[in-house]
Amino acid sequence: MSRLSDKVAIITGAGSGTGMGAAIARLFAREGARVVVTDVQARAAALAALAAELREAGAQAAPAVLDVTRESDWRAVVELALSAHGRIDILVNNAGSLGPQGGLEAIDSAELTRLLNVNVSSQFLGVTAVLPALERQGGGSIVNIGSIGSLVAFPNVNPGYAASKGAARMLSKALAVELARKKIRVNSVLPGFIATPMATNFTSDEALMQALAAAIPLGRPGQSEEIAHAALFLASDEAAYVTATELVVDGGYTAV
């Protein structure tokens, strides 16, 4: 039996090709989930291609444009999932933005607000949007893709990203405690350096990238699929007694 048989999952930020959202969608679909893959309008073509690929492989998959900072988009996607499948079991809040390269000088207050909206408020909007459906069904699982940037600071990462991921980590825990009695589990995956378009855009400084890779005990950046497997565990019934936790997937980086 597949690990997500008959479950319906909404996944945000799934349109970047080699990013974590697409990897999560592929793995969830392989494990029997019916998936709604979402991203911003600019990624609509990539989303449609991903959904077609999943359908060709035998899964049920639908693309939908969802800017995670827009409440009206959330409402539309929840309606789409409910009209197509009648239920929602899993929400993966994966969409995120790193913002500009550099330190304090790289951002102003408008950029800080944008990062907080994309990386934190989005989680709040997503959870509140799916909540009525999850309550009706008597439970569900929310997986938030955070960052080890919520645990430690990094050179060349603007402090707005760190602040937003730190806030998202605690929002996830607070929601988990609040929603536990409704049998809604809320957990985070905290990725380290993962080879995705976001990491490639992080810096053009080759020496900095090499120094960071050398500091990873497992000796390499992670792959999107390795984050997808962590998300799969937290989304599945195997994690029925797991809530308010953080699964750090960083090759050991934050342990040294």
Distance from the Cα of residue 17 to its chain's centroid:
14
Position among 4, 74, 78, 97 found at the interface with ligand NAD (CB under 6 A):
97
Q: 5: exposed, middle or buried (C-beta count within 10 Å: 0-12, 13-18, 19+)?
A: exposed
Q: Does 197 bind ligand NAD (CB under 6 A)?
A: yes
Is position 161 annotated as part of the catalytic site?
Answer: yes
Position among 7, 15, 115, 247 found at the interface with ligand NAD (CB under 6 A):
15
Closest to 146 in 3D by CA, of 127, 128, 163, 129: 163
Q: Does 12 bind ligand NAD (CB under 6 A)?
A: yes
Q: Does 96 bind ligand NAD (CB under 6 A)?
A: yes
Q: Which range binds ligand NAD by CB under 6 A, 37-45, 51-59, 84-92, 206-214?
A: 37-45
Per the CB < 8 A criterion, the answer to whether 215 and 221 are in contact is no
Nearer Cβ to ligand NAD, position 147 or 236? 147
Q: Tally DSSP H helices, then E strands, for the chain.
A: 9, 7
Position among 80, 84, 116, 198 found at the interface with ligand NAD (CB under 6 A):
198
As a whole number of angstroms, the distance between CA 67 and CA 89 comes to 20
Q: Does 99 bind ligand NAD (CB under 6 A)?
A: no
Q: Does 50 bind ligand NAD (CB under 6 A)?
A: no
Residue nearest to ligand NAD (CB): 96
Exactly one of 28, 154, 161, 253 is catalytic; which is it?
Answer: 161
- Considering only residues 174 to 193 of the shown chain, the ones binding ligand NAD according to CB under 6 A are 191, 193
Per the CB < 8 A criterion, the answer to whether 221 and 250 are in contact is no
Q: Does 145 bind ligand NAD (CB under 6 A)?
A: yes
Question: From the CB of residue 178, how many other CB atoms can be counted at a distance below 10 Å?
Answer: 13
Instruction: Compute CA distances 17 → 2, 58, 182, 214, 218, whole Å.
Output: 25, 20, 35, 26, 25
Residue ranges binding ligand NAD (CB under 6 A): 12-13, 15-16, 19-21, 39-40, 43, 66-69, 94-97, 118, 145, 147, 191, 193-194, 196-199
Which residues are marked as active site? 161
